[in-house]
Amino acid sequence: MDEKLDFSLPEKKAKNSLMQKISIVLLLVLIALTLVNTLKATRNETSVARGDSSLSHEQVKQLASQLAGRNLYTRAARVWQDYLSSGTLPDTERAKTLFQIGTLLEKAGAYEEAIEYYYRSEMTAEISELESQLNVHVKDCFEKLGMFSALRYELMDRTSFKQQEQPGSKIVAEIGPEKITEANLEALIEDTIDNQLAPMTAFMTTEQKYEQKKKMMEQFKAPAAKSQFLQSWLAQEVLYRDALEQELMKEPEVKKVIEEVTRGILSQQLVNKELAEKINITQTDLQTYYQANKDKYIEPADKEDPNSVDRQKSFDEVREQVMTELVSRKSQDVQNDLIKQMMDKYNVIIHTSALSEAGEIKSETPEKTAQ
């Protein structure tokens, strides 16, 4: 028997080969779909981590500004950080953005991080308009951290190079390595005046603010006045620094005083904000008030001259007095309305009976605050 047996199954083999090819194709499709989904998930995670990547540069700036305007400084700083990582920026733009992040972190109380971003800004590009601001912000951050040793070295580094003499660069005082120049002194005086004017500027025109500030600045033109201010400021400054080094802010009684002072300042700032929004005194308002109260602005007659009569003061003569009286009246009305609103908002109830003498108690019913 020379004939060989053939045990192959050609039809079944072809079928198996086709199935294998289909399985391979399906497997490749499945792998491709998996890769696509993975890439989508990765992009989504990046989008969540960095924010909406579809925003334009201008929209990112607007978002950061809006967050900062709501006092969400840390979030605003992160948006600016996303802006930095969104593409290639010129060094000057990058330096300005880093400085912006630093100021936001400083406002948020993250002083160490703020210092880092100020350093980054300086290293990225030298921008003359930011130089003085960077010096001030870095100094303030070290002060708020209470790190005066580090501050001393920082100031040494920043003042180690002899700069060209400029107007206002004359040194008037030194605190260790820190130099107080004429320009610094002028800025300190101006800041003090701004703080003094703050309660009144809410209802003053731009011209009135300028004139009042100019008048107050005139008082410090004399060298003696500047010297007196400088000595007073230096005394307060060294006491403040020593108090921080002794960590007095951590003592319970000091914390209590700070809380009370803070309470008063914030309350007054809220009132000032309300006054600024509700009071806008115009020239017409002043004239109207003067005409309605002319009898208050009369110069008494001379008692030795029987023929003399009371003399009416002109509006120009009493304009400042009229302004003061009208502002006082309007301010009192605005404050009363604001306090009433806040009392209602926080559901304040005064138990008048609990404050009365035993014999004067008439009712145990709690009453709302007086209208």
From the first residue on, what is the mean pLDDT of each consecutive set of 10 residues in the chain (371 residues)?
54 58 68 62 42 70 87 91 82 91 92 93 90 88 76 73 62 88 87 82 70 86 93 94 90 93 90 83 88 88 67 88 87 92 94 72 49 40
Beta strands 367-368; 311-312: pairing state: unpaired
pLDDT tens column, 249-304 = 889 999 999 999 999 989 988 988 888 788 888 888 889 999 999 888 888 766 67
Using left for φ > 0, alpha for ψ between -120 and 50, and beta otherwise, residue 176 falls in: left
pTM of this prediction? 0.50
**Predicted local confidence at residue 71, as pLDDT:** 86
**Predicted local confidence at residue 49, as pLDDT:** 39
Q: What angle do CA 140, 116, 88 make, to 5 degrees?
A: 130
Q: Rounded CA gap, 90 and 125, in Å?
A: 10
Q: Rounded CA gap, 158 and 151, in Å?
A: 10
Q: Rounded CA gap, 114 and 102, in Å?
A: 4
**Predicted local confidence at residue 361, as pLDDT:** 47
Amino acid at 294: K
Q: Rounded CA gap, 272 and 366, in Å?
A: 32
**Predicted local confidence at residue 162, as pLDDT:** 47
Q: Rounded CA gap, 291 and 202, in Å?
A: 25
